[in-house]
Amino acid sequence: QKRLVESGGGSVQAGGSLRLSCVASGITFSGYCMGWFRQAPGKEREGVAALEDKDRAVYADSVKGRFTISRDNAKNTVYLEINNLKPEDTGVYYCAAEILGPMWCSPRAGNFGNWGQGTQVTVSS
């Protein structure tokens, strides 16, 4: 049974940092493209970052320079480090997993079939 569990969200002030984690089970983790997505209230889900090959991370333009995705295949875990948080980063953050191949691994929600339950990030000004 495939399962993704996110953690690390919380309430922080603008300018702060968070590191989100997502632990996967029931999949051969190293063969999966792992993505992070977020959904703000009243808005559509937005792709943030994706990573399969550790040297080829893909980021949404809106988060480049502040967000870093990484993974530890030995721990079946993908991370999202968020620096210089802004109020517009508020939302539920989801991780997702799919077999896409390194060249196709990008944060497009429609390409992912396995999702976690999300973790809330709230940034106050």
Helix/strand/coil for 69: strand
Task: Write out the E strands in 1-125.
Answer: 3-7, 10-13, 18-25, 33-39, 46-51, 57-59, 67-72, 77-82, 91-98, 114-115, 119-124
Mean pLDDT of the chain: 96
Q: What is the mean pLDDT of residues 32-43?
A: 96
CA distance 63 to 85: 10
Q: What is the mean pLDDT of residues 114-122?
A: 98
pLDDT exceeds 80 at position 66: yes
β-partners of residue 3 are 25
Q: What is the mean pLDDT of residues 13-38?
A: 97
Cβ-contact 105, 58 below 8 angstroms: yes
pLDDT exceeds 80 at position 24: yes
Cα torsion through 23, 28, 30, 36, rounded to 10: -40
DSSP state of 92: E
pLDDT at residue 49, as a whole number: 98
pLDDT at residue 54, as a whole number: 75
Q: What is the mean pLDDT of residues 80-96?
A: 97
